[in-house]
Amino acid sequence: MLINTVEQLEDVLSCPSEADVAAVSAIPGDLMILGVAGKMGPTLARLASRAIAQSGSSKRLTAVSRFTDAAVRRDLEKAGIQTIACDLLSPGALARLPDAENVIFMAGRKFGTDGAAHLTWAANTYLPGLVADRFRNARIVAFSTGNVYGLQPLTSGGATESTPVAPVGEYAQAALGRERMFEYGSSQWGTPVTLLRLNYAVELRYGVMVDIALAVFNGRPVDLRMGEVNVIWQRDANSVCLRSLAHCQSPPLILNLTGPETLSVRDVAEEFGRRFSLEPAFTGEESGYALLSNAAKAHALFGYPTVTPTQIIDWTAHWIAKGGALLNKPTHFEAQDGKF
C-alpha cells in the first residue's frame, strides 16, 4: 500500500485498532485534549473520536487549543469533534473549561526557545502546574520528550526510564519542569498520571524521515552530527497515548515512546537515495552520541509499532517524489547543543 492523498493519510493516521476501541470503552468518563492543534493533536483527536464511535460509548471528547490556524478547528468540527478556543495561559481560562475525567496534555513550546526562553518555560512548566491543579481529579497523560535524558552513547541502546535525566538546553530543562509539575500534582492530590517521553513521531508531512528525504531529494547534504535516531509512526504513538490512560498512576508512570529500532541517519539517507535514484551528500560526522531512547517497557505493555521503518521510508519516498503536501516544519533533529 502507498498513500497518495492527504485524505488517505488522515484516514490511515486516525484508524483505531481493536485495542484502541477497547481502551476507550473501558475508561470511564469524558476525554479532553489540551493543546490539540499541534502536529500530532488533530490526528489523535480523530483517532479518539473514531474509537469512541466504534465502542458505542456516549463519552464526550473535547479538543482545546488557541486554534491560531482556523482551518484546524474547522476540520476537527467537520469530523464531529467538539472544540473550544482557549489560550490556556490566560488568567481564568482553565477554570472556564468543563470538567473531564481523562485529560491528555499536548501543549508545549520548543522552537524559538533560543532567544525567548521565558515563553518556553511558561508553556512547558508554569502551564503544566496550572493544569495539574485544575484537573487534579482526572487521569492525566502528558507528553514529554526524550530530550530530558540528554545525549546517549551510540553503543548504549538508548536511555531507559531508569537512566538519570540530564537535560541539555532550556527546552529540555523546561520539559523536565513539565514532568516535575505533574509529579507534584500527583504527589499532592494523588492524581494518576502517565508521562510519555517521545522521540520522534513521524508521518508523511513532517518528521525526521521527511527532513532526511527532502535533503536527499533536493540535493542538500544530510547532517550526520546526530548519527542515529529513533522514530515511531504517528498513529502508533497516538495509540499508545490513548491506551496509557488506563495505566495512569501515582506516582506517575514514566514511559519512553518510540520505535524499537536504532536507525543510522547515513543508512536512512542512502535508502532514500536508492528510491530517488540519487546519490546523497553528507556533512559533519557522527559524534558517537545521539538522542536515543529504549522503549522496551512501553512495547511490553502495548506491543510493537504496527508500521516499520522500511514502510515509513517507502511511504515517505513516494510522498516526496509525487509532491505531497508538507507542513514545512523541520525538526532540527541534528542539533546536539539543545538550542532550538
3-state secondary structure of 77: helix
Q: pTM of the full predicted structure?
A: 0.96
Consecutive 10-residue averages of pLDDT for the chain (340 residues): 96 97 95 96 98 95 96 96 96 97 93 82 96 98 97 94 95 97 98 97 98 98 95 98 98 98 97 98 93 98 98 98 95 80
- Under 8 Å between Cβ of 242 and 24: yes
The hierarchical CATH code for the domain 14-149+156-203+232-262+294-307 is 3.40.50.720
The residue assigned the cell 508545549 is 108
What pLDDT shows up at residue 340?
77
Nearest to 243 by CA among 9, 25, 37: 25
What pLDDT shows up at residue 60?
96
The residue assigned the cell 525526521 is 208
Backbone φ and ψ of 33, nearest 5°: -110, 120
Per DSSP, 89 falls in state T
What pLDDT shows up at residue 165?
97
- 6-13 vs 234-244: helix crossing angle, rounded to 10: 30
Rounded CA separation 121/116 (Å) = 9
What pLDDT shows up at residue 67?
96
Q: How many CB atoms lie within 10 A of CB 187?
A: 14
What pLDDT shows up at residue 264?
97
- Under 8 Å between Cβ of 150 and 172: yes
What pLDDT shows up at residue 334?
84
Rounded CA separation 171/214 (Å) = 26
What pLDDT shows up at residue 337?
74
Rounded CA separation 340/330 (Å) = 11
What pLDDT shows up at residue 1?
85
Domain boundaries in the chain? 14-149+156-203+232-262+294-307
